[in-house]
Amino acid sequence: MTARIIDGKQVAAQMRLELKEQVDRLKEKGIVPGLGVVLVGEDPASKSYVTAKERACEEIGIYSDDNHLHAQTSQKDLLGLIARMNSDPNIHGILVQLPLPRSLDESQVLLAIDPAKDVDGFHPINVGKMVTGQEAFLPCTPHGVVQLLVRSEVRLEGAHVVIVGRSNIVGKPLANMLIQKNKTGNATVTVCHTKTRDMALHTRQADILIAAAGSPHAITADMVKPSAVVIDVGVNRVADPSKKTGYRLVGDVDFEAVKEKASLITPVPGGVGPMTITMLLYNTIQAALRHRVNAVT
């Protein structure tokens, strides 16, 4: 049995059509969703990611206020820019691309963003609301994983989900989302990490196995239960002299081997990645809708 591929590009494209329709309806009411983007420094991966986000905004009609700052930007200047965007009624969401240069205090920067504009879902207030099941901006990558599962008609209620990885960006928020008492939750969740004893013992019990460890091919076929659903969040560069760049992208899952054992599987690239940007667009539109409601009330 060869697994069916969950095509993240296709799912993201369908969602973006839906989001564009929402943007068009908002524009008819005189509201243009706005996203303030801040990139500090010249990190190639961050620059590429921000460029893709800017293109996606243009594609569906979101206004993007792009701010590319040099690596020596001071904490004071960065916080001043965030304060300006916090008070700008045309900016509904704020994205500060991480990681920041080491000279900047990342936690202070994230705290400075108005929680009502925190479309990355990293502000402690939004994290707390997410954990307690209140309405909040959900972090984009884990929310994208949930959407991939739901739109692939994977049953979450009662499923045993094993997540490999406990980062604040993916593992922890994803575990919280999946245990919530709602239609996209009600799963039983196990979280594995670098200190887990006999990790394969846990992963082989998973109905849904989610790899988010940041380690190339860490999940091998012998670690996967037959017919499991496998979601690969990892994006790792490995040397490949045959490529013009000198490297290729691989996930945390040994894709070629595991696809012969799983029922559904995401590729890398083209799986979870396109969903991350799509959920950022989703959050920005939600921020614009909430702003409109608050302005009326």
Grouping H, G, I as helix, E, B as strand and the rest as coil, residue 180 is: coil
Domain C-terminal end among 114, 149, 183: 114
The distance in angstroms from the start CA to the end CA of the chain is 56
Q: Both 152 and 266 in a single domain? A: yes
Asked if residue 296 has pLDDT above 60, the reply is: no
What is the full DSSP assignment across 49-101?
HHHHHHHHHHHHT-EEEEEEE-TT--HHHHHHHHHHHHH-TT--EEEE-SSPP
Note if 205 is an active site residue.
no
Is 52 inside a domain boundary? yes
Q: pLDDT tens across 173-190, in order?
A: 999 999 999 999 999 999
List the catalytic residue out of 118, 120, 207, 254: 120
* Averaged pLDDT, 131-138: 96
User: 244 Cβ partners below 8 Å, 6+ apart?
Assistant: none
Instruction: Identify the CATH number of the domain in which residue 57 sits.
Output: 3.40.50.10860
d(CA 65, CA 91): 8
Q: Does an H or E element contain 230, and which?
A: strand 229-232
Q: Both 173 and 214 in a single domain? A: yes
Q: pLDDT tens across 115-132, in order?
A: 999 999 999 999 999 999
List the catalytic residue out of 22, 53, 147, 252: 53
Is 124 inside a domain boundary? no
Note if 120 is an active site residue.
yes
Q: pLDDT tens across 79-104, in order?
A: 999 999 999 999 999 999 999 999 99
Q: Both 184 and 247 in a single domain? A: yes
* Domains: count for the chain: 2
Q: Both 152 and 45 in a single domain? A: no
Q: Which amino acid is at 156?
A: L
Q: Both 102 and 222 in a single domain? A: no
Is 20 inside a domain boundary? no
The domain of 205 spans 140-273
Main-chain phi, psi angles of 259, to 5 degrees:
-65, -20
Is 183 inside a domain boundary? yes
Average pLDDT, rounded, for the chain: 95
Is 292 inside a domain boundary? no
Strand partners, 162: 190, 209
Q: What is the dihedral of CA 51, 57, 62, 68, to 10 degrees?
A: -10
pLDDT of residue 240: 87
Q: Both 238 and 151 in a single domain? A: yes
Note if 22 is an active site residue.
no
List the catalytic residue out of 97, 172, 259, 286: 97
Is 48 inside a domain boundary? yes
Query: 177: which 2 tokens?
Result: 């989302």
d(CA 287, CA 264): 33
Instruction: Note the pTM of the prediction, 2 decimals.
Output: 0.94
User: 53 Cβ partners below 8 Å, 6+ apart?
Assistant: 35, 37, 64, 95, 277, 280
218-222 contacts at long range (C-beta below 8 A, 24 or more positions apart)? 218/164, 218/252, 218/253, 219/164, 219/252, 219/253, 219/254, 219/258, 220/254, 220/257, 220/258, 221/254, 221/257, 221/258, 221/260, 221/261
Q: Both 178 and 265 in a single domain? A: yes
Whether the CB-CB separation of 32 and 3 falls below 8 Å is answered with: no
